[in-house]
Amino acid sequence: MSTERNMEKFSPATDIVESEQGFYMYMDLPGVSKEALAIDLDENTLIVSGKAAVTPDTDEKYIDQEFCEGEYSRKFTIADVVDRENIKANHKNGVLELFLPKKAEVQPLKIQITNE
Amino acid sequence: MVIDFDSFYNFPYEFDKIFSDVFNPHHQRRRKASYPPLNIVEDKNNIYVRAEVPGISIEDMEITITDKDLVLKGQRKLPEGRYFRQERPSGVFQRIVSINTTVDVAKVTASTKDGILNIVLPKSEASVPRKVGITVE
């Protein structure tokens, strides 16, 4: 495989789910190991990038190819309600799960009604 | 809220995307391909079938092999909730790979790593040329 193809860039498919506590982001990054993954937070921008592992160059011959190695990279703009200090990331089975908690003051508060 | 502004405001990015779509037909093909995308590779002794299956554990997949076909079946379930953005595919999938050479069905193995499924189909001795010695890994 040529180096040019190895450098191919992909935007990973991402799901964003909201809950009361914050936002969950799920990103498909097949072939990217935990070590090859980088998550950067630059003020309001969250940048996720990673490189899918290149298979060792052996005498393997491709019969059919539908996916290839490449670089994943994607930028997200994060709103002020996100508590930047407590962003959690978990990587499993080629899926990156990010949890972006909402700041305590924006979480819905339940007001107790008293009977007097 | 988490908003991805890229597609609206980032003109250089859009331009790059159009550029790469035009000059990189591989990229285009990738989107249209059936799910999951497969790579089929062979070397002297084995045939490797690799699939991109992020988020699917090996227990959620069923791999069946006969003398002629390799069938990969499974279901991808996504977490429930209020979706702001939904791009990842989900649902039931099946892919059938016909094998045109004789493989040793009993010795087929499968493993997953970082969302890539790797199925190793050893070629049966009859289909491996005699003069080739069996390599030790």
pLDDT digits (tens, 9 = 90+) for A91-113: 998 899 999 998 887 777 788 88
Same structural domain, B42 and B4: no
Identify whether residues B47 and B85 lie together within a single domain: yes
The type of residue at B60 is D
Q: Mutating which of A7, A16, A96, A97 best tests the B interface, going by the most B Cβ atoms within 10 A?
A: A16
| In-domain check, residue A15 | yes
Going by pLDDT thresholds of 50, 70 and 90, the confidence category of residue B5 is: low
Q: What is the CATH number of the domain that holds A13?
A: 2.60.40.790
**How high is the pLDDT of residue A2?**
42
Domain range for residue B3? 1-32
Structure tokens at B124: 């049966």
Give me the domain span that covers residue A98.
Answer: 3-53+64-106
- B132 assigned to some structural domain: no
DSSP β-bridge partners for residue B111: B118
Q: Does residue B13 share a domain with residue B56? A: no
pLDDT band at B128 (very low <50, low <70, confident <90, very high): low
- Confirm whether B46 is domain-assigned: yes
In a domain, A111, yes or no: no
Name the domain count of chain B.
2
Q: pTM of this prediction?
A: 0.73
A32 inside domain: yes
* A94 interaction partners in chain B (CB closer than 8 Å): 52-55, 114-116
Least confident of A30-34, B30-34, B37-41, B43-47: B30-34
Asked if residue A113 belongs to a domain, the reply is no
The pLDDT value given to residue B43: 85
The enclosing domain of B81 has a CATH number of 2.60.40.790
Q: Is residue A96 part of a domain?
A: yes
B 64-93 → A contacts, CB under 8 A: 78-79, 81-89
| Angstroms from B127 CA to nearest CA on chain A | 16
B67 and B100 co-located in one domain: yes
Which of B99, B46, B45 lies closest to B72 in space, CA to CA?
Answer: B99
Do both B10 and B47 map to the same domain?
A: no
* Spans of chain A below 70 pLDDT: 1-7, 54-58
Domain count, chain A: 1
Contact A16 B83 (CB under 8 A): yes
Contact check, Cβ <8 Å, A30/B53: yes
Q: Is the dihedral of CA B114, B59, A62, B103 positive or negative?
A: positive
Partner residue facing B40 (CB), from A16, A63, A68? A63
Residue B27 sits at the vertex; the CA angle it makes with B26 and B31, to the nearest 5 degrees, is 110
Q: How far is B70 from chain A (nearest CA, A)?
A: 15
pLDDT at A111: 84
The residue-averaged pLDDT of B112-133 equals 79
Task: Please state whether beta strands A37-42 and B69-76 pair in parallel, antiparallel, or not at all (unpaired).
Answer: unpaired
Q: Please check whether residue B96 lies inside any domain of the structure.
A: yes
Of the candidates A60, A76, A94, the beta carbon closest to that of B54 is on: A94
